[in-house]
Amino acid sequence: MGSLAKNGLNNYLKQLQQHPLRTKVITAGVLSAISDIVSQKLTGIQKLQFKRILLKVVFGAAYLGPFGHFFHIILDKIFKGKRDSATAAKKVLIEQLTSSPLNNLLFLTYYGLVIEGRPWVHVKAKVKKDYPSVQYTSWTFFPAVGFINHKFMPLHFRVVFHSLVAFCWGIFLNLRARSTVLIKA
């Protein structure tokens, strides 16, 4: 079994080197699916909602994977590939003031409009109510993750590392994004 895992990891790393965008897209989609399955089970949903899982895969694969891929490339170009502590801190600051708020806002909006199929007026009210606490929580957690990522991870591993940590964050967001209507159902 150990050699199977080792071969799988080696094949994954090979794909990450040869096809970085495609591999990150697939990784983000798969981790989004697993995160949603865990979220559904944690909230007591007995029968998995496959449409919801598919919609989460779409968000991860169509947005999170590509966005992260290009965002980290741009940051590395801006800072010429430097990874010292001061540069890592600057990258974290940029990330926390740009992509973090955007990603959280888009997720909450996507979840309400697309996954739950709720009217814009309800989604807007839910986002207005929950977004500040979600973003605040993100700012207490992700700067440390970002620093580790920018300081110690090679560029081609940054999205993967962030995606693995975001797996847990996705569970938190799923639990926060759910409408009270669904909780009562």
**CA-CA distances (angstroms) from residue 45 to 53, 69, 175?**
13, 33, 12
Q: What is the pTM of this model?
A: 0.86
pLDDT at 179 over 60: no
CB 105 within 8 A of CB 67: no
Give the pLDDT confidence score for residue 114 in this predicted structure. 96
CB 122 within 8 A of CB 110: no
| Cβ atoms within 10 Å, residue 63 | 17
Tell me the per-residue pLDDT of 79-109, one tens digit each, with 9 for 90 and over: 998 999 999 999 999 999 999 999 999 999 9
Distance CA(114)–CA(142), nearest Å, equals: 26
* Of residues 164 and 89, more confidently modeled: 89
pLDDT at 10 over 90: yes
pLDDT at 153 over 50: yes
CB 85 within 8 A of CB 151: yes
Domain boundaries, given as residue ranges, for the chain: 2-184
Distance CA(151)–CA(136), nearest Å, equals: 23
At residue 1 the predicted structure's pLDDT band, cuts being 50, 70 and 90, is low
Decide: residue 86, CB within 10 A, 0-12 exposed, 13-18 middle, 19+ buried. exposed
Counting residues of the chain whose pLDDT is more than 90, the rounded percentage is 75
Residues ≥6 apart with Cβ < 8 Å to 182: 116
DSSP for 111-135, please give it: IIIIIS---HHHHHHHHHHHHHHHH
CA atoms within 13 A on the CB side of 49: 16
Give the pLDDT confidence score for residue 21 in this predicted structure. 96
Lowest mean pLDDT among 32-46, 61-75, 131-145: 32-46
**SS3 assignment, position 82:** coil
